[in-house]
């Protein structure tokens, strides 16, 4: 995680109006029969970016990726890569390479032959191919396995070979379709950081499809959250987590407590929301204006709340209930608080103090409280 704060400060071409995107997706749709897989998507991806398309299965993320690779033709809209319209360009002439979810290694070829395959298609001289194959395999630490067949490799090793095979071609864009889905948890976490490091080193633009929000958060410069063929929000991991644009994004990324309600008052810096599920009105920081009576959703993350037996300060929002469940995870504990309305609220608390003695326990009557600035009003 060390690299990330550094990069986020220095690398944000999407905020620079002068920056030219490497990939420009303009109003792209794709339908299969009557099913609309991708629905009028607009998206710019910048050179050197690690971009993730995040969504549940069937949301259209893989279809969008396959349109970038050229395996699917858009029903409508245009895709430009490096300024060139891709409409009439077949997959074998595109400056992109794709790493398949199944890795799609050629089973009848050795590791070295697999990596050399793409270079041979370019008609490069043999010594150049040999050097490039060696360099690519070294990059993913698979040099000693060059003469093995894919069947003789573990899942993690196959994944590395698939990556090397793409990187050896030095594409402008590398497309990754659920690259880590087939690996077990430990290996996956390790590989996440390694992929990001490799991407930093080679400087190629990565576009990754994943259903794993943690993976997307760890690896990406920006995330595009997709649902039902639409991109709900594009933003940095911090943006999509702290400032979700819609209640779907808030719910999909991490855990969120959400209360439906209506606006009862709109001040300059905050709005007051009344929810039928809560006894008290909520006061939430909000800079825009909202008409009184507008239906909204208030979103609070579990870690933004505090739990206590004592009534919180007057300017805080709080709900009162009884502790119905405690999940002790070591570093944190997650408390489920049942409100009088039957609604349950999740609160996570860092276990700051050493020891087995719990401050709060089952059936305690508690206040879950949060500061108005630590919640969000969502209108969609």
Would you tell me which residues interact with other proteins (CB under 8 A)? Answer: 69-71, 90-93, 96-98, 100, 102, 104-108, 117-118, 121-122, 149, 151, 165, 169
Name which of 117 and 316 has its Cβ closer to other proteins: 117
| Minimum distance of other proteins from residue 196's CB (angstroms) | 22
Q: End-to-end alpha-carbon separation of the chain, Å?
A: 32
Name which of 100 and 243 has its Cβ closer to other proteins: 100
| Minimum distance of other proteins from residue 68's CB (angstroms) | 11
| Minimum distance of other proteins from residue 66's CB (angstroms) | 9
Which residues partner with 1 through β-bridges?
none
CA distances for 274 relative to 236, 246, 282, 283, 335, angstroms: 31, 19, 6, 9, 24
State how far the Cα of 226 lies from the Cα of 209, in Å rounded to an integer: 10
Name which of 101 and 264 has its Cβ closer to other proteins: 101
The DSSP symbol for 303 reads G
> What are the backbone angles phi and psi of residue 328, rounded to the nearest 5°?
-90, 115
Name which of 92 and 330 has its Cβ closer to other proteins: 92
Which two three-digit tokens encode residue 223?
A: 């995330």
State how far the Cα of 135 lies from the Cα of 183, in Å rounded to an integer: 24
| Minimum distance of other proteins from residue 145's CB (angstroms) | 16
Name which of 28 and 68 has its Cβ closer to other proteins: 68
> Could you tell me if 378 and 244 are in contact, meaning their C-beta atoms sit under 8 angstroms apart?
yes
| Minimum distance of other proteins from residue 362's CB (angstroms) | 51
Name which of 60 and 150 has its Cβ closer to other proteins: 150
Name which of 162 and 180 has its Cβ closer to other proteins: 162
| Minimum distance of other proteins from residue 15's CB (angstroms) | 32
| Minimum distance of other proteins from residue 144's CB (angstroms) | 20
Widest pairwise Cα distance in the chain:
76
| Minimum distance of other proteins from residue 138's CB (angstroms) | 20
* Backbone CA torsion sign across 162, 168, 171, 173: positive
| Minimum distance of other proteins from residue 152's CB (angstroms) | 8
> Could you tell me if 263 and 292 are in contact, meaning their C-beta atoms sit under 8 angstroms apart?
yes
CB-based burial of residue 123 (10 Å sphere; 0-12 exposed, 13-18 middle, 19+ buried)?
exposed
**Residues in the chain, how many?**
380
State how far the Cα of 365 lies from the Cα of 94, in Å rounded to an integer: 62
Closest by Cα among 282, 50, 143, 198 to 274 = 282
Name which of 102 and 255 has its Cβ closer to other proteins: 102
Which two three-digit tokens encode residue 204?
A: 């190629």
Name which of 104 and 258 has its Cβ closer to other proteins: 104
Name which of 35 and 71 has its Cβ closer to other proteins: 71
Rounded to 10 degrees, the C-alpha dihedral 101/102/108/113 comes to: 20
| Minimum distance of other proteins from residue 109's CB (angstroms) | 9
Closest by Cα among 170, 192, 139, 167 to 4 = 192
């Amino acid at each position: 995680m060390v690299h990330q704060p550094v990069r986020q400060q220095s690398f944000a071409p999407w905020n620079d109006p002068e920056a030219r995107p490497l990939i420009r997706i303009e109003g792209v749709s794709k339908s299969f029969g009557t099913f609309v897989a991708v629905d009028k998507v607009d998206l710019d991806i910048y050179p050197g970016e690690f971009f993730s398309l995040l969504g549940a299965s069937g949301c259209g993320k893989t279809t969008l990726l396959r349109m970038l690779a050229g395996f699917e033709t858009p029903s409508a809209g245009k895709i430009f890569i490096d300024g060139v319209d891709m409409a009439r360009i077949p997959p074998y002439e595109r400056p992109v390479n794709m790493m398949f979810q199944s890795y799609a290694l050629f089973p009848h070829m050795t590791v070295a032959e697999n990596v050399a395959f793409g270079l041979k298609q370019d008609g490069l001289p043999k010594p150049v191919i040999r050097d490039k194959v060696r360099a690519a395999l070294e990059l993913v630490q698979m040099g000693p396995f060059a003469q093995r067949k894919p069947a003789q490799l573990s899942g993690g090793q196959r994944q590395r070979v698939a990556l090397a095979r793409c990187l050896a071609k030095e594409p402008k864009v590398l497309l990754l379709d659920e690259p880590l889905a087939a690996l077990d948890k430990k290996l996956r976490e390790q590989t996440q950081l390694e992929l990001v490091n490799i991407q930093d080193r080679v400087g190629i633009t990565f576009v990754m499809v994943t259903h794993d929000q943690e993976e997307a958060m760890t690896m990406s410069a920006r995330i595009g959250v997709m649902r039902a063929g639409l991109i709900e929000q594009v933003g940095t991991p911090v943006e999509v987590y702290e400032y979700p644009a819609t209640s779907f994004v808030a719910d999909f990324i991490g855990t969120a407590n959400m209360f439906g309600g209506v606006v009862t008052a709109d001040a300059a810096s905050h709005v007051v929301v009344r929810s039928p599920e809560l006894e008290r009105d909520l006061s939430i920081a909000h800079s825009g204006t909202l008409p009184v009576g507008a239906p909204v959703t208030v979103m609070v993350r579990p870690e933004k709340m505090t739990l206590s037996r004592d009534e919180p300060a007057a300017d805080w929002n709080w709900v009162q209930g009884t502790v119905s469940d405690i999940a002790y995870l070591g570093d944190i504990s997650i408390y489920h608080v049942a409100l009088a309305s039957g609604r349950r609220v999740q609160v996570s608390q860092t276990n700051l103090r050493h020891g087995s003695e719990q401050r709060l326990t089952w059936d305690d009557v508690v206040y879950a409280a949060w500061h108005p600035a630590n919640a969000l009003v969502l209108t969609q």
